[in-house]
Amino acid sequence: MNESFITPIIPVNSTPGWNPASAVEKAEGDSHFKGIFQSAIKGVAESEQELAGQEYLLATGQIEDAHAVPIAAAKAQLSIDLLVQLRNKALESYNEIININI
């Protein structure tokens, strides 16, 4: 029996560019928020590029694994959702600081 049609399972990586341990280390630095936000933006850009590449391969018929496109789309959507939530939390924090009575 030929088992070459079975593709190996590849471990799922976390969101590109996002490492919670490094986020804690950056939080102790001077520009911690800037670094976290820039890494989230970089992760969105990388996941969008990966999705565009997978869609191109699918459109040209060069893709080996058809499941790669929906997986890349889900990763891109999750990284965008993460960036939006970071923005929302930053705005909430800013509004709370502005509303503090001294």
Quote the pLDDT of residue 33. Answer: 78
Query: Can you give the pLDDT of all 102 residues of the chain as single tens digits?
Result: 556 667 767 766 655 555 655 555 554 555 787 888 899 899 999 999 999 999 999 999 998 888 999 999 999 999 999 999 999 999 999 999 999 887
Quote the pLDDT of residue 37. Answer: 86
Quote the pLDDT of residue 79. Answer: 93
Quote the pLDDT of residue 62. Answer: 92
pTM greater than 0.75 (yes/no): no
Quote the pLDDT of residue 1. Answer: 53
Q: What are phi and psi of 35, to 5 degrees?
A: -65, -45
Long-range contacts of 26-30 (CB under 8 A, 24+ apart): none
Quote the pLDDT of residue 21. Answer: 59
Residue 40 neighbours by CB distance under 10 Å: 23
Domain ranges of the chain: 32-98
Cβ-count burial 61-87 (b if 16+ within 10 Å, e if not): eebeeeebbeebeebbeebeeebeeee
